[in-house]
């Protein structure tokens, strides 16, 4: 496998691939193997220099969002201790620019699941219904297309440990495959309209829509509120007196974290999930 250098961008590769944005990257040797869309990719960082397999340079550059102004983004974080702790913990993490369908579908399968479970589901779906691309003499599986999933029965997806999420993923896949819903059209809508369009899909509520917007639709202000973020906001930004209702949290997150709120959210999420102590 021939490797090509992509220079030494500001990037924490392992942190980025392992922070609960994408769920399919696997350790191999000194690097990582996975699919970016339909391209099989190997990524490795040595002394700050980023390497990728020959032919995957453009896919990797786009996916890793090396064009995001990370210095400006990290400088835009609020100066409060909570945000600054998360920044110190996650510096160099980037918000991946994932394929739209893949981001949407993956987070439909994520509800009430631990990160490790989401990864299991992603791998099972890829192996059974995705396409195999050979890299270094081994298969790398792409995420199944809407068409591939639309042709299945709910029972096929239940066998992938999807549980009640199977019906939602199938119904959404069929709406996209049939062109009843066009993700590329949603991609040009303003944030609120795009969010509402996504929320019309089965299994897509406010949180999943915001994940899709942030990770697949380049909306860097989208601020998904999951159980971890809710915990951080309630216990570290709100006082005991302030009631952390959904509306109060939504308003706070939309106004406190600036134009790159989605980045702040991802840093807060990862930091909380890995360092939170009970009690």
Q: How far is the CB of 148 from DNA (least distance, A)?
A: 21
The whole-angstrom separation of Cα 264 and Cα 239 is: 21
10 binds DNA (CB under 7 A): no
Q: Which segment (55-63, 70-78, 106-114, 128-136) binds DNA by CB under 7 A?
A: 106-114
199 binds DNA (CB under 7 A): yes
Q: How far is the CB of 108 from DNA (least distance, A)?
A: 8
- Phi, psi (degrees; rounded to nearest 5) at 53: -65, 145
Binding pattern to DNA, positions 125-164, x when CB under 7 A? ---------------------------------x--xxxx
8 Å CB contact between 195 and 204: no
The binder of DNA chosen from 113, 128, 175, 236 (CB under 7 A): 113
The binder of DNA chosen from 116, 179, 239, 255 (CB under 7 A): 116
Q: Kindly tell me the sign of the dihedral angle through the C-alpha atoms of 15, 18, 24, 30.
A: positive
Q: Which segment (25-33, 44-52, 115-123, 136-144) binds DNA by CB under 7 A?
A: 115-123
111 binds DNA (CB under 7 A): yes
Full strand arrangement of the beta sheet holding 49-53: 3-5, 49-53, 39-46, 31-36, 26-28
Closer by beta carbon to DNA, 48 or else 205 = 205
DSSP per-residue string spanning 9-55: -S--HHHHHTSSS----EEETTEEEEEETTEEEEEEEETTEEEEETT
Q: How far is the CB of 136 from DNA (least distance, A)?
A: 27
204 binds DNA (CB under 7 A): yes
217 binds DNA (CB under 7 A): no
Q: How far is the CB of 271 from DNA (least distance, A)?
A: 11
Q: How far is the CB of 231 from DNA (least distance, A)?
A: 7
Beta strands in 47-186 (DSSP E): 49-53, 132-135, 138-141
Tell me 143's DSSP state: P
Closer by beta carbon to DNA, 14 or else 38 = 14
Binding pattern to DNA, positions 229-248, x when CB under 7 A? x-------------x-xxxx
Site size toward DNA, by CB under 7 A? 45
The neighbouring-strand residues paired with 20 are none
What tokens were used for 120? 């299991």
Q: Kindly tell me the sign of the dihedral angle through the C-alpha atoms of 80, 82, 86, 89.
A: positive
What tokens were used for 92? 């160099």
The neighbouring-strand residues paired with 49 are 46
Q: Which residues bind DNA (CB under 7 A)?
A: 19-21, 107, 110-118, 120, 158, 161-164, 168, 199, 202-209, 211, 224-229, 243, 245-248, 265-266, 269, 273
């Amino acid at each position: 496998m021939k490797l090509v250098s992509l220079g030494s961008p500001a990037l924490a590769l392992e942190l980025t691939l392992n922070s609960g944005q994408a769920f399919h990257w696997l350790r191999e040797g000194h690097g990582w193997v996975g699919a970016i869309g339909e391209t099989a990719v190997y990524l490795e960082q040595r002394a700050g220099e980023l390497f990728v397999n020959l032919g995957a340079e453009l896919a990797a550059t786009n996916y890793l969002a090396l064009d995001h102004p990370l210095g400006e983004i990290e400088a835009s974080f609020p100066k409060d201790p909570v945000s600054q702790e998360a920044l110190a913990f996650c510096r160099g993490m980037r918000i991946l620019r994932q394929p739209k369908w893949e981001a949407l579908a993956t987070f439909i399968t994520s509800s009430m699941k631990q990160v490790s479970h989401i990864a299991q589901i992603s791998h099972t779906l890829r192996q059974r219904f995705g396409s195999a691309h050979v890299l270094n003499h081994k298969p790398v599986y792409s995420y199944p297309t809407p068409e591939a999933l639309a042709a299945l029965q709910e029972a096929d997806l239940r066998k992938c440990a999807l549980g009640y999420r199977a019906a939602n993923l199938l119904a959404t896949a069929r709406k996209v495959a049939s062109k009843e819903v066009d993700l590329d059209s949603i991609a040009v809508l303003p944030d609120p309209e795009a969010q509402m369009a996504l929320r019309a899909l089965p299994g897509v509520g406010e949180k999943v829509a915001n994940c899709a917007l942030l990770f697949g639709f380049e909306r860097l202000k989208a601020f998904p509120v999951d159980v971890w973020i809710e915990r951080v906001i309630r216990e570290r930004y709100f006082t005991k007196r302030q009631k952390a209702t959904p509306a109060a949290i939504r308003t706070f997150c939309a106004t406190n974290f600036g134009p790159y709120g989605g980045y702040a959210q991802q840093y807060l999420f990862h930091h909380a999930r890995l360092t939170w102590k009970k009690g």
